Amino acid sequence: MSKRKNPSDDNNLNSDFCDFLMELAEYEKNVSRNVHKYNAYRKAASVLATHSKRIESGDEAKKLSGIGDKISKKIDEFLQTGKLRKLENIHQDEDAQAINTLTRVTGVGPVKAAEFVRNGIKSIEDLRNNIDKLTHHQTIGVRYFEDFEKKIPRKEIQDIEGKLKNLIKNLDPEFTVTICGSYRRGKRESGDIDALVTHPSLKINEKKKKHEAKLMKSLVDALKGLVTDVISIGDTKFMYYCAILYFTGSDVFNKTMRAHALDKGFTLNEYALRPVGVTGVPGEPVQISSEEDVFDYIDYPYKTPEERNM
Ligand code: DTP
């Protein structure tokens, strides 16, 4: 999953507001480690990004869902002065800037970044000079730092999708490959490529760890030539439709849908949709045979992947 999030697109009439909200979101996630504020800023940015009109005042913005008093005041301040005091202060804070920079490296989370900064490691160059202090994952992160920051054009993903499908079908025609994430939502470029690979012999609740590990290994072997480094090999097993729904996103869409599921008495994650009993304990997973099923169960209007860009 890619690290940099950007809801701005060509049709966004409120992109300047979105930019400062996203910067505030990053600050809350990386420096303050306040996930609620992070989510609130991202939600507001996402709502503004898809609003079909240029917002002209904080009061006008406040009518949109997800925009409260504080964000509406920031919009007014930005409209009146062209900047935000809060962001100006953050820009002056060298440690905050350093933490933000380090968290751009895959494998470096906010806690680790703060620890690096405390120990005087404050830039990508500092990380490169301290390779012995990095995990395997972080080493790959700094090695390809500039590459990972680039967006991948849709055409390039289509080429890789073709190659991936060929390689995998040759290994075993029963594998299915679906590229999810922003690509499935129809975006022209993506931060990364989220490939969901499934095989019918990996069934729900089957205790076939060894079989799974072997299949996974053969898959990674088959990808030699396409793959330059392996960060880690997990053994997560999940139900296909909940997984494809989750990995298609967007993350804001997922969060809204999950909150709706909870309202309707279900818990939804990348593995399953489960009813929540009166005791609050989730029950057995609901049988799902399409993405639409998930929407149906929780009484949520169906959205095509392209309509999930919020
Ligand atoms: P990008 O173009 O930046 O890669 P993306 O494909 O939507 O955009 P990711 O690759 O980071 O985003 O993640 C793939 C999907 O996984 C995402 O669309 C939704 C899901 N996801 C990731 N993080 C979260 C989260 N924190 N909450 C809910 N869903 C998430």
Contacts of residue 234, defined as CB under 8 A and 6 or more positions apart, other chains included, come to none
Tell me if ipTM is over 0.85. Answer: yes
Domain range summary for the chain, segments of one domain joined by +:
1-92, 104-149, 152-237, 242-307
- Are 1-92 and 104-149 equal in CATH topology? yes
pTM: 0.81
Question: To test ligand 1's pocket by mutation, which of 194, 262, 307 has the most ligand atoms within 8 angstroms of CB?
Answer: 194
Protein residue with its CA nearest to atom 27 in ligand 1: 251
**In the 8-state DSSP scheme, what is residue 227?**
B
Distances (CA, A) of 45 to 25, 98, 263, 275: 9, 24, 24, 31
pLDDT score, position 203: 61
Atom of ligand 1 nearest to the CA of 151: 2
- Topology of domain 1-92 in CATH is DNA polymerase; domain 1 (1.10.150)
Cross-strand bridge partners of residue 189: 153
Protein residue with its CA nearest to atom 10 in ligand 1: 1
* Cα atoms in the Cβ-side hemisphere of radius 13 Å centred on 203: 3
Question: Residue 8: is the preceding peptide bond cis (ω within 30°)?
Answer: no
Amino acid at 209: K
Atom of ligand 1 nearest to the CA of 187: 2
Rounded distance, CA 92 to CA 103, Å? 18
Instruction: Look up the CATH number of domain 152-237.
Output: 3.30.460.10
Residue 181 CA to ligand 1 center (angstroms) comes to 6
Mean pLDDT by 10 residues, the chain (310 residues): 64 94 95 91 94 96 96 98 97 97 93 95 98 94 96 97 92 91 96 88 61 78 84 63 93 94 92 84 85 92 94
Establish whether residue 190 lines the binding site of ligand 1, counting it when its CB lies within 6 angstroms of any ligand atom.
yes
pLDDT score, position 188: 95
- How deeply is 218 buried, as exposed, middle or buried, from its count of CB atoms within 10 A (0-12, 13-18, 19+)? middle
pLDDT score, position 237: 46
Contact 190, 154 (CB under 8 A): yes
- Topology of domain 104-149 in CATH is DNA polymerase; domain 1 (1.10.150)
